[in-house]
Structure 1
């Protein structure tokens, strides 16, 4: 049986993205880099063409292949964090140097890759039995960019005024 893994198309920064992730995400390493042979459209001969990596242990392929296709939010990496400190750390690292933040823990990094930076506590809060509390937490979540665990908990328990 074959292996399933993400394959991301970059204009020309696959190597930079892979190196950044290897330095930022634990258990991530570049396993091979293939340079472009002659005749690849939109890629200079000898330039980085294919980058194979383990992204938090998951095999992934990054391809430099020019501007024909672009990355968008229809695909994202879901980064589960152990608490607010990790959320803050990865949020800042991934949004740095030109990244763009969005709603509910989503952001696009400087390479155009979308991420959801999510604390484990979100799943816990959303699976609790008090449906009114879950609704309050969901309403609070919808107002956030970076997810804030304390605010989710306060909303769930009714300690946060509705917006």
Structure 2
């Protein structure tokens, strides 16, 4: 059992959101959806998993919208994986933000980032190369592995 879980407050679209996330991430599942008694069968709370990470969710209404103060960080291995998650999560009302950040159609912030950037390029012992990568990264909206690698390799 996971000791700490992320808890998400949705604005009356909980069931739709949980089904959406389960459709985007191949290794995901809806564990449970609880219906509110006497509310026409509307979902009240849910538990779901994405890549082994447990999420709890509430259909809480408009009282507490998502902010950029928290985001979900998706570590990607290839540009195809970045493109897949980017396209899925910005579809139907989601929006690109900057530097690999986006907001999905429910207002939840995501970071779609290649592992290569975090581990190798930005963490390089050659701080000049790492700085070039950071300068390239901040100019991007969706991150581009080839562009980041080119900044690193630049002489």
Give the structure 2 partner of residue 150 of structure 1. Answer: 146
Give the structure 1 partner of residue 12 of structure 2. Answer: 12
Moved over 6 A (4+): none
Unaligned runs of 5+ in 2: none
Asked if the contact 2:2–2:54 (Cα under 8 Å) also holds between the matched residues in 1, the reply is no
Per-residue CA deviations over 1:41-61 (Å, capped at 9, x if unaligned) read: xxx453111011112111111
TM-score, normalization by structure 2: 0.94
Give the structure 2 partner of residue 130 of structure 1. Answer: 126
Please give the root-mean-square deviation of Cα atoms over the aligned residues, in Å: 1.5
Q: What is the distance in 2 between the residues matched to 1:110 and 1:133?
A: 36
Per-residue CA deviations over 1:107-152 (Å, capped at 9, x if unaligned) read: 0001111100001111111111111111111000000000001111
Q: Aligned residue pairs: how many? A: 154
Q: What is the distance in 2 between the residues matched to 1:99 and 1:85?
A: 19
Q: What is the distance in 1 between the residues matched to 2:124 and 2:56?
A: 37
1:16 counterpart SS class: helix
Q: What is the distance in 2 between the residues matched to 1:37 and 1:21?
A: 25
TM-score, normalization by structure 1: 0.89
For residues 24-43 of structure 1, what are the structure 2 equivalents within 5 Å? 24-38=24-38
**Structure with the larger helix share:** 2
Q: What is the distance in 2 between the residues matched to 1:155 and 1:84?
A: 16
1:105 to 73, 81, 100: 100
Larger radius of gyration: 1
